[in-house]
């Protein structure tokens, strides 16, 4: 329950999560500095005194006590939501949140109203060995990741940077510099390796901008917030629109590990939830309005407008001075800074998650928290659209005609990325949740602890574009002679892998759209967890490149809440010359079920209770009549 409460609160202020499991080989001697995401460091009032109070993450008892203190109003306004009066309950929630977050409030100049601090950044006590030995796991945001690293690397050489997530990126960057200098002295090292996530990516990039890269040997950053997000705008203006599908899948990724949780949300009344949170925003504003981090995280195209509307130029002059520098000086310099780091011998890598709407609404292709284009610098089609068939890329950073930087979904063009040869994209992964996925946690570990992977071409097992292989997605597909997501005339079979943790699956049908292929699943049998099967197919792959297609797999997942499952995968035909087309078009591939049924029948069968089973049956039967 605490995790659920924490998640709901966190999503309102764009919480970012931190990392996971990995393995290592050929390790270097440089100590590792881990820099987590937004609101990952616990915050305390009067830390270390008899008056100590944990402020973040709020304890469930504090939330319940706040509700009890205003219980009549809470129950009355909650009851009102059932007759459409959501505004009053939203105001109650907002007022309660302002009480819970009161001691996290900041002054207009960006300084803290109360004495708030965190676990100290002392190398002797912030290394993983000390934390594990003394039971301080609450300060290691993702404990599994830290424990696994401790099994594969000297835990006394792995350090976790704690920071106040309310503060701006520059203030936290100065504190990071102090910490790194202390670590270098403590370990007698000249350099450190940095792994950062989300807001931690902006802080660490700001640190390198301010202090240079002479102390850094490796810089690996996952979904770095170096280009910002429009979530601050949604919060400040109270314009919240939760995307039900992505929020449901986010819950599924974080809480379950299998493909059932999303179905619990299919009938949720998200219109009411949106209205409640919009009404609650005024109450929350008193706590969040002057957080330097919120202003550091604003997307560039919204910052000036929000600053005029919400910050007094006199009262907030000190805060504005720092955030202006972030937006006008530091952020624009980061792409060149990354390239200069590489010239100076620093290994730099970026991980970006794609394929999702942002948590509070909007049409950016992103990872629930950050848009993909601000994380990576890549050119991205608006959510729900793709590049036209024959698209060849803008090629503003990489113009090598032999390099294909277009994603299989034809939504991401990495030829304009900050680092086209050193940026990896995972379709369907949620904001930095790689520690739940074998592919990305393995990639992160190899990048951080070894010299095995130098760019996107180093290892065919780690292509630039990959599907999320979280267990909740159940199956992963790949053609036998291509990278994941691509199809050419060299391919003869489709490899389907069961990526669940402990469930068997049975394939009943494989359908294709955009390319005329027929798949023979008669010998597929039952596939156990972790195993795969090769499905032969017939049909001609057209002599074109950057052409969109889709593969749909219908299967039974034994032991699932609803065993009748359908998974869809965008693929690109890469089998000839591309025409050089430009521009965006609608993605266009509706499910076969939706595209071929009469509207009246589709409306009946598309209800959440029926849809998954109806699609499974339709796809399976349609194979018999193709």
Give pLDDT tens digits for 464-473.
999 998 888 8
Q: Report the pLDDT averaged over residues 296-324.
A: 95
Total count of residues recorded for the chain: 626
- pLDDT at residue 257 above 60? no
Of residues 408 and 243, which shows the higher confidence score?
408
Please check whether residue 217 is in contact with residue 191, taking contact to mean a CB–CB distance below 8 angstroms: yes
Cα 485 to Cα 465: distance, rounded to the nearest angstrom: 8
Q: 5-28 b/e with 16+ CB inside 10 Å = b?
A: ebbebbbbbbbbbbbbbbeeeebb
Which residue in the block uniquely carries the two structure tokens 């219980």?
A: 71
Give pLDDT tens digits for 316-355.
999 999 999 999 999 999 999 999 999 999 999 999 999 8
Of residues 25 and 60, which shows the higher confidence score?
60
Phi, psi angles (nearest 5°) of residue 194: -110, 130
Residues of the chain with CATH 2.60.40: 474-626
- Report the pLDDT value the prediction gives residue 622, as an integer from 0 to 100: 83
- Report the pLDDT value the prediction gives residue 234, as an integer from 0 to 100: 78
- Report the pLDDT value the prediction gives residue 463, as an integer from 0 to 100: 96
Q: Using 50, 70 and 90 to split pLDDT, how confident is the model at 243?
A: low
Give pLDDT tens digits for 561-598.
789 999 999 999 999 999 999 999 998 877 777 777 78
- pLDDT at residue 26 above 50? no
- pLDDT at residue 273 above 70? no
Q: Using 50, 70 and 90 to split pLDDT, how confident is the model at 278?
A: low
Of residues 506 and 600, which shows the higher confidence score?
506
Give pLDDT tens digits for 516-555.
999 999 999 999 999 999 999 999 999 999 999 999 999 9
How crowded is the C-beta side of 383, counted as CA atoms within 13 Å? 19
- pLDDT at residue 374 above 90? yes
Of residues 284 and 301, which shows the higher confidence score?
301
Give pLDDT tens digits for 112-132.
999 999 999 999 999 999 999
Q: Report the pLDDT averaged over residues 389-401.
A: 95
Give pLDDT tens digits for 449-499.
999 999 999 999 999 999 998 888 899 999 999 999 999 999 999 999 999
- pLDDT at residue 11 above 50? no
Mean pLDDT value across the chain = 86
Q: Report the pLDDT averaged over residues 305-309.
A: 94
H-assigned helices in 112-258: 128-133, 143-152, 169-187, 199-211, 231-237, 244-251
Cα 413 to Cα 407: distance, rounded to the nearest angstrom: 7
- Report the pLDDT value the prediction gives residue 86, as an integer from 0 to 100: 74
Report which of 449, 375, 466, 455 is spatially closest to residue 421, judged by C-alpha positions. Answer: 455
Going by DSSP bridges, is the β-strand pair 532-538/518-519 parallel, antiparallel, or unpaired? antiparallel
Cα 447 to Cα 452: distance, rounded to the nearest angstrom: 7
Which residue in the block uniquely carries the two structure tokens 């069968």?
A: 605
Report for 28-42, 136-150, 610-624: range of highest mean pLDDT: 28-42
Please check whether residue 202 is in contact with residue 297, taking contact to mean a CB–CB distance below 8 angstroms: yes
Going by DSSP bridges, is the β-strand pair 347-354/385-387 parallel, antiparallel, or unpaired? unpaired
Q: Report the pLDDT averaged over residues 82-92.
A: 72
Give pLDDT tens digits for 184-228.
999 999 999 999 999 999 999 999 999 999 999 999 999 999 999
Q: Which range (147-161, 209-223, 278-292, 532-546) has the least confidence?
A: 278-292
For residue 391, the 8-state DSSP code is B
Assigned token pair, 568: 């869809």
CATH fold group of domain 474-626: Immunoglobulin-like (2.60.40)
Assigned token pair, 154: 């000297």
Q: Report the pLDDT averaged over residues 426-430.
A: 90
Cα 347 to Cα 486: distance, rounded to the nearest angstrom: 28
- pLDDT at residue 24 above 50? no
- Report the pLDDT value the prediction gives residue 608, as an integer from 0 to 100: 61
Radius of gyration for the alpha carbons in the chain, expressed in angstroms and rounded:
25
Q: Is the pTM of this model over 0.85?
A: yes
Sign of CA dihedral 147, 153, 157, 160: negative
- Report the pLDDT value the prediction gives residue 364, as an integer from 0 to 100: 86
- pLDDT at residue 25 above 60? no
Please check whether residue 432 is in contact with residue 220, taking contact to mean a CB–CB distance below 8 angstroms: no
Q: Using 50, 70 and 90 to split pLDDT, how confident is the model at 270?
A: low
Phi, psi angles (nearest 5°) of residue 314: -90, -55
Please check whether residue 546 is in contact with residue 410, taking contact to mean a CB–CB distance below 8 angstroms: yes
- Report the pLDDT value the prediction gives residue 79, as an integer from 0 to 100: 78
- pLDDT at residue 599 above 50? yes
Of residues 347 and 86, which shows the higher confidence score?
347
Q: Using 50, 70 and 90 to split pLDDT, how confident is the model at 153?
A: confident
Please check whether residue 157 is in contact with residue 193, taking contact to mean a CB–CB distance below 8 angstroms: no
Please check whether residue 465 is in contact with residue 483, taking contact to mean a CB–CB distance below 8 angstroms: yes
- 531 CB neighbour count, 10 Å cutoff: 13
């Amino acid at each position: 329950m605490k995790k659920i409460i924490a998640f709901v609160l966190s999503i309102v202020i764009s919480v970012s999560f931190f990392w996971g499991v990995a393995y290592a080989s050929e390790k270097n001697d440089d100590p590792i500095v881990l820099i987590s995401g937004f609101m990952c460091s616990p915050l305390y009032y009067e830390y270390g005194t008899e008056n100590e109070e944990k402020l973040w993450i709020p304890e469930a008892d504090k939330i319940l006590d706040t509700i009890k203190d205003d219980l009549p109003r809470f129950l009355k306004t909650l009851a009102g939501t059932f007759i459409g009066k959501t505004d009053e309950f939203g105001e109650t929630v907002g007022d309660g949140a302002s009480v819970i977050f009161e001691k996290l409030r900041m002054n207009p100049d960006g300084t803290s109203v109360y004495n708030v601090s965190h676990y100290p950044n002392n190398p002797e006590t912030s290394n993983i060995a000390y934390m594990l030995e003394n039971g301080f796991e609450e300060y290691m945001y993702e404990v599994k990741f830290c424990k696994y690293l401790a099994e594969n690397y000297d835990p006394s050489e792995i350090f976790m940077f704690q920071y106040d997530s309310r503060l701006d990126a520059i203030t936290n960057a100065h504190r990071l510099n102090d910490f790194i200098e202390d670590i270098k002295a403590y370990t007698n090292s000249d350099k450190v390796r940095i792994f950062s996530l989300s807001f931690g990516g902006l802080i660490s990039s700001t640190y390198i901008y301010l202090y240079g890269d002479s102390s850094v040997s490796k810089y690996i950053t996952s979904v770095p917030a170096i280009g910002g997000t429009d979530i601050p705008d949604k919060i400040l203006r109270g314009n919240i629109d939760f995307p039900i599908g992505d929020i449901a899948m986010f819950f599924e990724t974080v809480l379950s590990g299998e493909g059932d949780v999303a179905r619990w949300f299919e009938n949720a009344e998200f219109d009411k939830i949106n209205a409640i949170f919009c009404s609650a925003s005024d109450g929350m504003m008193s706590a969040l309005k002057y957080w330097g981090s919120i202003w550091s995280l604003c997307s560039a195209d919204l910052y000036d407008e929000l600053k005029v509307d919400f910050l007094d130029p006199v009262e907030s002059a000190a805060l504005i001075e720092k955030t202006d520098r972030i937006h006008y000086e530091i952020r624009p310099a980061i792409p060149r800074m990354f390239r200069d780091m590489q010239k100076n011998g620093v290994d730099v890598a970026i991980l970006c998650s794609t394929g999702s709407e942002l948590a509070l609404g909007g049409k950016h292709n992103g990872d629930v928290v950050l848009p993909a284009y601000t994380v990576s610098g890549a050119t991205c089609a608006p959510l729900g659209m793709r590049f036209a068939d024959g698209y060849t890329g803008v090629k503003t950073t990489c113009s090598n005609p032999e390099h294909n930087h277009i994603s299989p979904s034809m939504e991401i063009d990495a030829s304009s990325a900050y680092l086209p040869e050193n940026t990896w994209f995972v379709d369907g992964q949620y904001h930095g949740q790689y520690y739940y996925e074998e592919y990305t946690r393995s990639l992160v570990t190899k990048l951080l602890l070894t010299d095995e992977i130098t760019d996107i071409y180093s290892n065919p097992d780690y292509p630039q574009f990959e599907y999320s292989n979280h267990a909740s997605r159940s199956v992963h597909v790949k053609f036998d002679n291509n990278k994941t997501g691509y199809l050419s005339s060299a391919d003869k079979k489709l490899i389907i892998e069961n990526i669940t943790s402990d469930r068997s699956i049975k394939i009943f049908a494989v359908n294709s759209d955009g390319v005329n292929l027929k798949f023979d699943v008669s010998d597929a049998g039952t596939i156990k967890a972790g195993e795969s099967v090769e499905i032969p197919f017939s049909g001609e792959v057209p002599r074109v490149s950057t052409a969109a297609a889709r593969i749909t797999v219908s299967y039974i997942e034994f032991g699932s809440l609803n065993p009748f499952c359908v998974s869809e995968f965008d693929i690109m035909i890469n089998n000839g010359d591309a025409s050089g087309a430009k521009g965006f078009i609608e993605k266009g591939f509706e499910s076969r079920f939706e595209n071929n049924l009469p509207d009246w029948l589709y409306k009946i069968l598309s209800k959440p209770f029926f849809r998954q089973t109806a699609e499974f049956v339709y796809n399976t039967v349609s194979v018999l009549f193709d």
